[in-house]
Copies of this chain bind each other. A is one copy, B any other.
């Protein structure tokens, strides 16, 4: 059996063609796509695909820790299949989101936490990407 399928089998969820199509699109995808982008891509091969299914599948995958929902774009939800701990560089011009593979161990003193139990962190670095910098030299 194909390796990828075996991997998804282990999730103990039904492997429907629609789910496989979405999983294949997400596999290795570094674009942090929105629901709209996912829908547009997979509906090319699955013309009957509906937005509801994309939402259903994504919610299921998030629940099973196969993708992360990221709150960087204030306009829409974006999804990230790259599950290792990592952070993001966000271009304030073109809104591109670039992975940053580093692990920062950021300590917060007890007295600043006010009883908050820390479980992790995510850093959004903002600035201007190489491409956008290349343009408008004003």
Contacts and interface: CB of A to CB of B under 8 A. Distances in A.
A116 to B, nearest CB: 5
B123 A121 contact: yes
Most B CB within 10 A of own CB, among A69, A77, A104: A104
Nearest to A91: B116
Interface string A57-95: 000000000000111111001000000000001011000
18 contacts: A69-B74, A71-B72, A71-B73, A89-B116, A89-B118, A92-B119, A101-B112, A106-B123, A114-B130, A115-B130, A116-B125, A116-B127, A117-B129, A118-B125, A119-B127, A120-B125, A121-B124, A121-B126
